[in-house]
Amino acid sequence: MVEPHPTVLDGKLTYVTSKPSSGAAIGGIVIALGLMLVFAKGATGTVVTPAGAAGLLIALVVLAISLLLTVMRRWTVEFDLTGQKLTISQSLLGRPNTIVFDCPLDECTRVGTMEYRNEGGVSYGAYIELKQGGKYSIPLPSGTLRDVSLAVSHLVRATGIPRFDTVA
């Protein structure tokens, strides 16, 4: 999990998504192996022709791999307070970070809280909006509106970026 109020180290305030569990990788491998076993034994021969089964198997394996890669991605949002920079990067399967976005803090128009509606109810998160358009999610632990609001307040005090909440 991410600390909602990370300490400032070397003049940087960093938010990172939690490390993907090894269970996700094992789950993806089990799904892929299970698909291969089903198609190798021809259990679906009554539904799909043998020639079509190979194509379907390849499609399902590609889908399983893309799901696995999505689950294994980590995002980092770093506010460099001394250099006045924002860096958003991602890491895939433990490889070095790839910078997705890098700009001065002056390019950030606002920061605030957002409400996400999902099957389990409502969850809350934080975002950063840029002058050139686009909102980027700031990885915070799942929490209450109060927890997310406190984290955003801490971020506003540290960076001076204006606050705009989309949640009442």
Query: What are the tens digits of pLDDT across the range 50-95?
Result: 566 667 777 777 777 777 766 677 888 888 888 899 888 888 777 7
Please give the mean pLDDT across all residues of the chain.
77
Dihedral-angle region of residue 149 (phi above 0 means left; psi in -120 to 50 means alpha; beta otherwise): alpha
Distance of CA 105 to the CA centre of its chain: 21
Helix then strand then coil, in percent of the chain rounded to 5, is 35, 35, 30
Q: Give the E-state strand segments of the chain in sequence order.
A: 12-16, 73-80, 85-92, 98-104, 108-118, 121-130, 135-138
Note the pLDDT tens digit of each residue in 85-132.
Answer: 988 888 877 777 788 888 898 999 999 999 888 787 888 888 999 998
Residue 162: pLDDT over 90 = yes
CA separation for the pair 14, 154 (Å, rounded):
12
Which residue in 10, 20, 9 sits closest to 139, CA to CA? 20
Sheet containing 135-138, strands listed edge to edge, beginning at the edge strand earlier in sequence: 108-118, 121-130, 135-138
CA separation for the pair 66, 32 (Å, rounded):
12
Residue 1: pLDDT over 50 = no
pTM flag (> 0.85): no
Residue 168: pLDDT over 80 = no
* Lowest mean pLDDT across 2-11, 24-33, 111-120: 2-11
Instruction: Please give the pLDDT value at position 21.
Output: 58
Residue 2: pLDDT over 50 = no
